[in-house]
Every structure is written in structure tokens, then in C-alpha cells.
């Protein structure tokens, strides 16, 4: 696309972020993620416990918890400790039932994301209740699997860090950089999968999700670090909310995280709408008419003439 097309995309992102009430959508998603947080952690711990000691989950999550605002990280750490103790008592059929219940409980977050992305993509969800429930549970289960893969990668990199410790700080820095690269890649892949399957729309080629998912990952990291700095240096939530300060910090972090993901979805939607070609996985509509790209192309050509 030309520079003028990207300028149009940026303008529409700015306008539609207000028209779709992105802040309100992010607050709703953050609330449902808050409700789903404990079941999600429980599912990760129980699955991880099939192959390793569940107590090591907290240690392997230390890299991510170092980025999260301190009060939110403390709450998550407390939940991890409690869940690790209870997960060790579950075996066999009891473990399977507890795992299914946890994934179903975590599906509230993915259900909220499905509704928000339908609004962003301006689609009316015509799927049945059962299909949407299954999709939300499947997306929650996929998020758990991505988390398990990330923990396994962190475990292997932690072991590798011990092997290369003899070469000094250069080796440690390289392993740390590789850890963050893998974490960012997994995060971007998970967000892209959410963009791909959540909205009720025809299949689209994966390349139309890549830019938004990468930008959403970078925005999430920047927002997390920025909010963590603000909460630790300037925002005295304990003085305002008392014992609820840590909960408020966690909710605010979930809010900025949801906002970053929804902004990425809006970026993808506007890029696809501007595209002069059909974006579907199996092209059936000339000129990308499904997302209104043909109309945008006609307007560009008319303006050029």
C-alpha cells in the first residue's frame, strides 16, 4: 500500500477506536479475564504437573512475573502457591474433571474477547450458543497449551543458562534475550490465533493477522512496563483503595493488556478493509469486497484522478 493508504488506515483506527468504545470493551474483557484467571492458572498447573513437579511452575513463570506490576505479581504468586498445593492431590479421573471444569471456567475470558472482536470487525455473530461455548472453551484450552509450551521453553532455557554460565554475562544475556524472543513469538502466535478464530467471519489468510498480532505484543509489553513503572513510582493505590490496592492494580494491568490486544485487532480490521485484493483463504470475491476493500480502492483511484 502507498503512504496515503496507510494514512487513511491510521485515521480510521483513531476514529473507530472511539466509535467502537474500545476502552469500554477492554474494561469488560479485563473483568472476565479477572474471573477466569484462577481457573486458567489451575489448568496450566494441572497439565504441567503431568510431566513435572507442579511446584516448579512458579519458578518458571518468574521471568513473566518480573515484568508484571509488583502488586499484581504478588497476587498471582499467592494464587500459584495455593493452586500448586491443591493440584498435587488430584489424580486420575478427578484430575480430568478438575481440568475440564477449569478450562470451562476460563472460557469466560475468551467469550468476552469473541464478542469484542466481532464488534471491531463489525460482524454479527450468527453462531449457535453451543458452537460459541465450544469455541470459547477451545480458545481457552489453546491458551493453556501455549502457556505450557512457554513454561517448557523457559525450563529448557533455564537449564541452558546454567550450562553457559561459565562464559560470563554475555552468555547469560544471550539466553535472556532468547527467552524473551520465544515468549514474544508465543504471545504473538496466540493473539493471532484469537484474531483468526474468534470473530464470526469467513476464513482469512494468516498474513492478514501478522502485523496486528506483532504490534499488539509490542504494545502489551510497553503498556505493562509503563504501567508497572507508574504503579511503583507514582500511583499509590494502597493509600486510595487500602487492602484492595493489589486487586485494583491487577485489574488495571488486565485492562491495558486487553486494550493492546483489541487495538491489534482494530489495526488488522482496518488494514484488511483498505486492501485492494480479496483477503479470504479461498478467494471468491473479486477486489476484497467482503471487507469493503474494493470501495476503498475505488475512492483512492477517484481521488488520484
Residue 101, in any domain of the structure: yes
Q: Which residue, 188, 257, 252, is CA-closest to 223? A: 257
Residue 280, in any domain of the structure: no
User: What is the domain count for the chain?
Assistant: 1
Task: Please give the pLDDT value at position 100.
Answer: 79
Cα(176)–Cα(213) distance, integer angstroms: 22
Task: Please give the pLDDT value at position 163.
Answer: 59
Residue 294, in any domain of the structure: no
- Binned at pLDDT 50, 70 and 90, residue 287 comes out as very low
- Binned at pLDDT 50, 70 and 90, residue 249 comes out as confident
Q: Which helix (H) or strand (E) holds 161?
A: helix 129-163
Residue 135 is placed in which grid cell?
469455541
Residue 104, in any domain of the structure: yes
Residue 126 has pLDDT above 70, yes or no: yes
Q: What is the mean pLDDT of the chain?
A: 78
Residue 179, in any domain of the structure: yes
pLDDT digits (tens, 9 = 90+) for 50-81: 666 666 666 666 666 667 777 777 787 777 77
Contact at 8 Å (CB) between 264 and 219? yes
Question: What is the average per-residue pLDDT within 28-56?
Answer: 79
Residue 302, in any domain of the structure: no
Backbone angles phi, psi at 204, to 5 degrees: -125, 145
273 contacts: CB under 8 Å, gap ≥ 6: 12, 291, 292, 293, 296
Find the range with the poorest average confidence among 6-15, 75-84, 86-95: 86-95
Residue 275 has pLDDT above 50, yes or no: yes
Q: Which domain holds residue 188?
A: 3-274
Amino acid at each position: 500500500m502507498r503512504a496515503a493508504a496507510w494514512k487513511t488506515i491510521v485515521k480510521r483506527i483513531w476514529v473507530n477506536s472511539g466509535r467502537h468504545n474500545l476502552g469500554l470493551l477492554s474494561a469488560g474483557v479485563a473483568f472476565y479475564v479477572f474471573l477466569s484467571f484462577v481457573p486458567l492458572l489451575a489448568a496450566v498447573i494441572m497439565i504441567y504437573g503431568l510431566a513435572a513437579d507442579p511446584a516448579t511452575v512458579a519458578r518458571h513463570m518468574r521471568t513473566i512475573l518480573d515484568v508484571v506490576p509488583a502488586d499484581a505479581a504478588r497476587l498471582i504468586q499467592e494464587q500459584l502457591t495455593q493452586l500448586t498445593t491443591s493440584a498435587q492431590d488430584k489424580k486420575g479421573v478427578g484430575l480430568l474433571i478438575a481440568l475440564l471444569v477449569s478450562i470451562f471456567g476460563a472460557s469466560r475470558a475468551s467469550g468476552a474477547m469473541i464478542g469484542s472482536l466481532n464488534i471491531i470487525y463489525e460482524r454479527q455473530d450468527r453462531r449457535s450458543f453451543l458452537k460459541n461455548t465450544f469455541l470459547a472453551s477451545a480458545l481457552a484450552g489453546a491458551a493453556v497449551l501455549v502457556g505450557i509450551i512457554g513454561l517448557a521453553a523457559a525450563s529448557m532455557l533455564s537449564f541452558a543458562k546454567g550450562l553457559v554460565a561459565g562464559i560470563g554475562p554475555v552468555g547469560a544475556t544471550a539466553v535472556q534475550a532468547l527467552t524473551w524472543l520465544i515468549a514474544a513469538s508465543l504471545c504473538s502466535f496466540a493473539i493471532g490465533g484469537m484474531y483468526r478464530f474468534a470473530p464470526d467471519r469467513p476464513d482469512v489468510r494468516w498474513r492478514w493477522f501478522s502485523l496486528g498480532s506483532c504490534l499488539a505484543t509490542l504494545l502489551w509489553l510497553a503498556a505493562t512496563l509503563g504501567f508497572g513503572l507508574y504503579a511503583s513510582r507514582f500511583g499509590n493505590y494502597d493509600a486510595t483503595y487500602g487492602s484492595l490496592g493489589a486487586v485494583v492494580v491487577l485489574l488495571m494491568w488486565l485492562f491495558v493488556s486487553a486494550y493492546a490486544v483489541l487495538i491489534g485487532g482494530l489495526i488488522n480490521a482496518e488494514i484488511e478493509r483498505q486492501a485492494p485484493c480479496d483477503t479470504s483463504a479461498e478467494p471468491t470475491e473479486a477486489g476484497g469486497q467482503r471487507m469493503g476493500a474494493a470501495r476503498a480502492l475505488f475512492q483512492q483511484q477517484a481521488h488520484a484522478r
